[in-house]
């Protein structure tokens, strides 16, 4: 019987990854399409990708698939052949990471979810087939010049903070499902304008574009393949990037640089900086921006209090963490909780 889940410790898997000598490629992809039996499809994917030594996170739901993975270079063509053998995924666009060492993932996790993007939409009349028009990099650059165009960032604050399109509107909410109705409210009176929606890899802005059309907006567009694909196309075509700064990504890298602009600041000292980190205190793990100087000063922690805790004996640290969800602050979405300076 084939193994359908990982049975090795995370520590051992990380060690195995670091010993690999063959390069890996980090890839992301998604597709909205009906899946009648998500669990069966999940098991089929796991068995096939496990054999190919694919690592990463894949979510499967009745509405489609969402994946962020890494593949050994020698298995890349085999992986593509397998993926494209699935009728609904044939010739699917694959977003290849830009600033990447291939060490983003060390285990394969394929999970069944209610939706591949939690949206809070319960109306049976909502239809993902009626979505906004795709825009490539050149089309985005051209349309942005139009005074009747509004660019909307459908990502979270910590993503927007380190990089975004010029003059993009941030939707200041904690979750994507809160962003959707908020975007509609914020754009009232602009129903006839060009609305460009974008996100990291395209999955959120594609659904957002369908929602905006559903709510009566007429000229809705979304960036094909998100920021990842835009950066790739802009580089290949020699276009000036209208996206400035860093693109936040949900793996160990926590970001890939698009332009040299540093538009964010260290949350502790206020110096220009766009390097995200998670607080080294296992009872905190707050995601925040920290410069090298403050990293040394606070030992990678977000505050003096957390620094002091990391210097306690490990058993005492575990006692303090007991009953606390230590991952609660990882990828924290709240703009309100990401204080400008954590030690003020």
User: What's the CATH code of the domain at 84?
Assistant: 3.30.70.100
- Nearest Cα to 251, choosing from 79, 111, 68? 68
Is 269 one of the catalytic residues?
no
Of 195, 221, 237, the one marking the end of a domain is 237
Q: Which residues contact 230 (CB under 8 A, 6 or more apart)?
A: 137, 140, 198, 223, 241, 243
Angle CA 189–191–196, to nearest 5 = 115
Same domain, 26 and 104: yes
Same domain, 22 and 58: yes
Same domain, 22 and 63: yes
Measure the CA–CA gap between 215 and 222, rounded to whole angstroms.
16
Same domain, 27 and 72: yes
Side-by-side strand order, sheet with 219-223: 133-135, 219-223, 194-198, 149-153, 169-170
Pick the catalytic residue: 199, 273, 284, 302? 199
| Res 335: pLDDT | 42
Same domain, 309 and 214: no
Q: What is the CATH number of the domain that holds 158?
A: 3.40.250.10
Q: Residue 5 domain-assigned? A: no
pTM of the model: 0.76
Task: Locate the DSSP E strands across 49-141.
Answer: 55-61, 64-72, 95-96, 108-112, 133-135
Same domain, 87 and 18: yes
Q: Is 188 helix (H, G, I), strand (E, B) or coil?
A: coil
| Res 332: pLDDT | 46
| Res 160: pLDDT | 94
Same domain, 148 and 180: yes
| Res 7: pLDDT | 62
Number of compact structural domains in the chain: 3
Contact 7, 108 (CB under 8 A): no
| Res 197: pLDDT | 96
Same domain, 104 and 137: no
Q: Residue 137 domain-assigned? A: yes
Of 83, 112, 141, the one marking the end of a domain is 112
Q: Residue 1 domain-assigned? A: no
Q: Residue 37 domain-assigned? A: yes
Same domain, 17 and 92: yes
Measure the CA–CA gap between 325 and 315, rounded to whole angstroms.
17
Q: Which residues contact 253 (CB under 8 A, 6 or more apart)?
A: 97, 99, 100, 101, 104
User: Domain range spanning residue 312?
Assistant: 264-344
Segment-wise mean pLDDT, segments of 10 residues, the chain, 344 residues: 58 62 85 94 94 92 93 93 95 79 78 90 86 95 96 93 95 88 95 95 92 95 92 94 90 82 95 94 89 95 91 82 54 41 37
Same domain, 138 and 227: yes
Count of C-beta atoms within a 10 Å radius of residue 144:
18
Q: Residue 23 domain-assigned? A: yes
Residue 76 φ/ψ, nearest 5 degrees? -60, -45
Same domain, 155 and 233: yes
Instruction: Report the DSSP pairing between strands 194-198 and 219-223.
Output: parallel
Same domain, 91 and 165: no
- Nearest Cα to 70, choosing from 253, 244, 199? 253
Q: Residue 253 domain-assigned? A: no
Q: Residue 125 domain-assigned? A: no
Q: Residue 251 domain-assigned? A: no
| Res 324: pLDDT | 58
Of 112, 145, 167, the one marking the end of a domain is 112
């Amino acid at each position: 019987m084939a193994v359908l889940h990982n049975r090795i410790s995370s520590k051992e898997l990380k060690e195995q990854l670091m010993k690999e000598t063959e390069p890996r490629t980090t890839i992301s992809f998604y597709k909205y399409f009906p899946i009648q039996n998500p669990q069966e499809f999940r098991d089929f994917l796991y068995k096939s990708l496990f054999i190919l030594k694919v690592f990463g996170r894949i979510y499967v739901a009745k509405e489609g698939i969402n994946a962020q993975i890494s593949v050994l270079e020698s298995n890349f063509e085999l992986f593509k052949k397998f993926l494209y053998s699935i009728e609904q995924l044939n010739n699917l666009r694959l977003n290849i990471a830009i600033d990447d060492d291939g060490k983003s993932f060390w285990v394969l996790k394929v999970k069944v979810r209610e939706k591949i993007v939690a949206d809070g939409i319960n109306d049976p009349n909502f239809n993902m087939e009626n979505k906004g028009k795709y825009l490539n990099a050149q089309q985005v650059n051209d349309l942005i010049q139009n005074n009747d165009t509004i660019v909307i960032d459908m990502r979270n604050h910590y993503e927007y903070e380190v990089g975004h399109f010029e003059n993009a509107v941030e939707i200041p909410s904690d979750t994507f499902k809160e962003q959707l109705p908020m975007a509609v409210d914020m754009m009232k009176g602009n129903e006839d304008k060009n609305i460009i929606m974008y996100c990291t890899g395209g999955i959120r802005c594609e659904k957002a574009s369908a929602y905006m059309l559903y709510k009566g907006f007429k000229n809705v567009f979304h960036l094909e393949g998100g920021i990842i694909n835009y950066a790739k196309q802009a580089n290949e075509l020699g276009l000036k990037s209208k996206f400035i700064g860093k693109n936040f990504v949900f793996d160990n890298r926590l970001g890939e640089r698009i332009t040299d602009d540093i538009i964010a600041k260290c949350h502790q000292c206020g110096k220009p900086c766009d390097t995200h980190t998670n607080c080294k205190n296992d009872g905190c793990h707050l995601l925040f921006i920290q410069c090298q100087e403050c990293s040394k000063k606070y030992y990678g922690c977000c505050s003096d209090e957390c620094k002091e805790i990391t210097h306690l004996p490990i058993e005492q640290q575990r006692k303090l963490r007991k009953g606390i969800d230590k991952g609660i602050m990882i990828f924290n979405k709240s703009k309100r909780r990401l204080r400008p300076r954590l030690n003020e």
